[in-house]
Amino acid sequence: MLISDLETPAVIVDLDIMDRNLSRMADYCREHQLLLRPHTKTHKIPELAKRQLAGGATGITVAKLGEAEVMLDAGITDMLIAYPIVGPGKTTRLARLAEQANITVSLDSEEVARGISEASTREGTKIGVLIEMDVGFERCGFSNEADVLALARKIAELRGLEFRGLMFFPGHFGVGPGERAAMRTQVNDYLKRTIEVLSDAGLPVAIVSGGSTPTAYEGGLFYGVNEVRPGTYIFNDRNTVAVSACTLDDCALSVLVTVVSTAVSGHAVVDGGSKTFSYDRFQGGDGRGFGIVKEDPAAEIERFSEEHGHVNIQRSERRYRVGERISVIPNHVCTTVNMHDEIYGVRGEHVEEIWRVEGRGKVR
């Protein structure tokens, strides 16, 4: 099948670029003695997770329990669920997962630790725990080492749990490399203090897991970090380019769309909107725009309706015709892929692979 045979909108992945992205990250991690545990929320496709494992990843990361179940069904048996698992239904499912796989979770409260402990004790399994540290993103995690230590002591006492170490998400590092270096100094101080206080208390820290895509290539610069969890790097996107974590040539994924209307002067409408791309904002520059038109960088995707992409072509030299196709690199690949039941792996003009986004919709 050729790309031109696909109906639009269609998410296509350039396999050569994807393979290069995968190799580069795996090589970096090998060179810097970092365990690579890719976050599969970006693609939610077991087949791609398996390629990451075959390329040297030590295991995978998932965001939700439902995604972990999908990955286990596909035979993947080493997973970090980087999310607090809450409630008796979910902790029971979690404990059952742990009967068949090496499962670690992240959490930041005694309530969550107790719930998981009860379920894993009841089911006779053991679940690894990373305590989450907040290094400035202000989402989950503790902001001081005393709180980390107090919870680590509780976890050490609870049955069915095994304290394995620390996790953080440097989500606010989505800025230029210069600012990242300054932020890193602060994070390193906090990491150092925390690891020391835990070691002094006889609670050894086996894993320090950090690093999203923008920081994964700096993983070796973080104090104590021995694992990274990049997700986006497999495809990359406009936001990753904006924080200098890749170049446009490293963007493997684009959305093929068709021009369906040019009736409004200075505009073209394409057949993908927020239900195709998601409505995630641009994190760089002036924050404007919802993607890059590969064939015409002068065009601006200025807004989305649900099924319409509004392309402002006032600064473009190109003439847009109803029926022609263009391809768009989205702001954020993770939420774009999540809109689709299947995506396509392509090489040249050929569609070589069709992948079902098996983990999509597994929000529970």
For 37, the token pair is 């545990």
Residue 56 Cβ vs a copy of itself, minimum distance, rounded to whole Å: 25
Q: Is 334 helix (H, G, I), strand (E, B) or coil?
A: helix
Task: Indicate the residue among 5 and 99 with the shorter CB distance to a copy of itself.
Answer: 5
CA distance 112 to 96: 17
Give the three-state DSSP class for 361. Answer: coil
Q: Contact at 8 Å (CB) between 22 and 13?
A: no
Which CB, 171 or 220, lies closer to a copy of itself? 171
In the complex with a copy of itself, the residue whose CB is nearer, 57 or 63, is 63
DSSP letter for 346, please: E
Nearer to a copy of itself, 226 or 274 (CB): 274
- The distance of closest approach from Cβ of residue 29 to a copy of itself in the complex, given in angstroms and rounded to an integer, is 23
Taking the complex as a whole, how short is the minimal distance between the CB of residue 310 and a copy of itself, in angstroms? 6
E strands in 204-360: 207-209, 227-228, 253-261, 267-270, 291-293, 300-304, 309-312, 325-330, 342-347, 350-356
Q: Under DSSP, is residue 224 helix (H, G, I), strand (E, B) or coil?
A: coil
CB of 156 to a copy of itself, least distance (A): 19
Between 318 and 356, name the residue whose CB sits nearer to a copy of itself.
356
Inter-CA distances, 283 with 174, 254, 291, 323, Å: 8, 18, 11, 31
Cα torsion 217, 223, 229, 235 to 10°: value is -10
| Footprint of a copy of itself (CB under 8 A) | 7-10, 41, 63-64, 83-84, 86-87, 89-90, 108-109, 111-112, 115, 132, 134, 138-143, 147, 171, 258-265, 267, 269, 271-272, 274-276, 278-281, 305-308, 310, 321-323, 334-335, 338-341, 361, 363-364
CB of residue 52 to a copy of itself, shortest distance in Å: 19
Which C-beta is closer to a copy of itself: that of 141 or that of 210? 141
Shortest separation between residue 54's beta carbon and a copy of itself, angstroms: 26
